[in-house]
Structure 1
Amino acid sequence: MVELGVVACLPETDFLPWGDPAGYCEGARLFWEDSRFVSGEVLRVAK
């Protein structure tokens, strides 16, 4: 469900470079500026 929330917060972002869907203990960090989300980054668990 992480992916749906991130897409809703950043609807104009190209998520293809983010790669595979989030796994267990993975997610995204969203950046907030001027009362809106402006960008995000993937948080992955090292393999």
Structure 2
Amino acid sequence: EDIDGLRAAGLTGEEILEGVWVACQFNAVDRLADTFGLYDLMQLQER
């Protein structure tokens, strides 16, 4: 159903896949940041 809505909005299969990929990468980075206790990107500069 979700993909059908995206296709109806005019997105191609490649565009949908890219959106899924970006969401997965964001999720992975967010989980790593939580694991290392980084709640603010500025904390990276302090190390």
TM-score (structure 1 length as normaliser): 0.26
Which structure is higher in helix share? 2
Which of the pair is proportionally richer in strand? 1
TM-score relative to the length of structure 2: 0.26
- Whichever of the two has the greater Rg, that structure is 2
